Amino acid sequence: MVQWNTEGRDLDSVVREAQSRIRDKVTLPPGYSIEFGGDYEGQQRASRTLLTTSVAAILLMSVIMFQAFRSWPLVCLVMLNLPLALIGGVFALALAGETLNVSSLIGMVALFGVATRNSLLLISRYQFLLRAHPDLRAGDIALSGAVDRLVPILMTAFTAALAVIPLILGDPTGKELQRPLAIVLLGGMLSSTLLNLLVIPTLFRWMAGRRENRLAVDGR
């Protein structure tokens, strides 16, 4: 049994480098094998559990939103904010020199919830405007809904960002678990907020415009 601790680097990259060097330089006799355990084994197990539960949570969220909206296109529009949030989270990790680990994965799960909430605020406002003002054009509804929900969405994003900034700044010693989570939340909130207010209104306008054209054709 060979034991070691890591310092100044994440556990995943150290184990990958060890595996690569062993594969290139060590020839094992027949019947011998090498297994990596300890914290690495626990981390891999936790990552698999997080991945499974995240997929289950996304599926459950989709079913619940369909019960609320009764429209799969609108559900897909809400869920589109998840990859928009991932863009900022992954980019922030790369920029900070961090890697995907259990802490950053937990941050992404938390980020999914906040990003989905922002999309729900926007889509629910669009549905209200469609019911209250059926004569409004798709472009006017998309613009008005985005303006109405601008302040709540920005407040949610700024509150989350201000809460995690102290975990990112300063000496990283003692913040090895919290720092990747905070970086993911900060980067993901920035990207999802900006893209949420640009991409989703544009796609909603396109979807509602197609519906208007279809109704106009049926009316003729």
* Structural domain contains residue 49: no
Strands (E), 4-146: none
Q: Please, which pLDDT band fits residue 216 given cuts at 50, 70 and 90?
A: very low
* Structural domain contains residue 68: yes
How far apart (Å, rounded) are the C-alpha atoms in residues 15 and 174? 22
Q: Tell me the CATH number at 201.
A: 1.20.1640.10
Q: Which domain holds residue 107?
A: 57-219
The more confident residue out of 174 and 131 is: 131
Residue pLDDT, tens place only, 73-109: 888 888 877 887 888 888 888 888 777 777 787 888 8
* Structural domain contains residue 28: no
Collapsing DSSP states into helix, strand and coil, what is residue 189?
helix
Whether 84 and 196 have beta carbons less than 8 Å apart is answered as yes
Q: Is the pLDDT of residue 217 over 50?
A: no
* Structural domain contains residue 129: yes
Q: How many structural domains comprise the chain?
A: 1
Q: Please, which pLDDT band fits residue 220 given cuts at 50, 70 and 90?
A: very low
How far apart (Å, rounded) are the C-alpha atoms in residues 157 and 191? 10
* Structural domain contains residue 10: no
* Structural domain contains residue 48: no
Residue pLDDT, tens place only, 10-66: 777 788 888 889 888 888 888 888 888 887 788 788 778 878 887 888 888 888 888
* Structural domain contains residue 46: no
* Structural domain contains residue 137: yes
What is the pLDDT at residue 213?
56
- Backbone dihedral region of 177: left (phi > 0), alpha (psi from -120 to 50 degrees) or beta? alpha
Mean pLDDT, rounded, of the chain: 80
End-to-end CA distance of the chain: 80
Q: Please, which pLDDT band fits residue 173 given cuts at 50, 70 and 90?
A: low
CA dihedral (193, 50, 94, 79) in degrees, to 10, reads: -30
How far apart (Å, rounded) are the C-alpha atoms in residues 220 and 218? 5
Q: Is the pLDDT of residue 212 over 70?
A: no
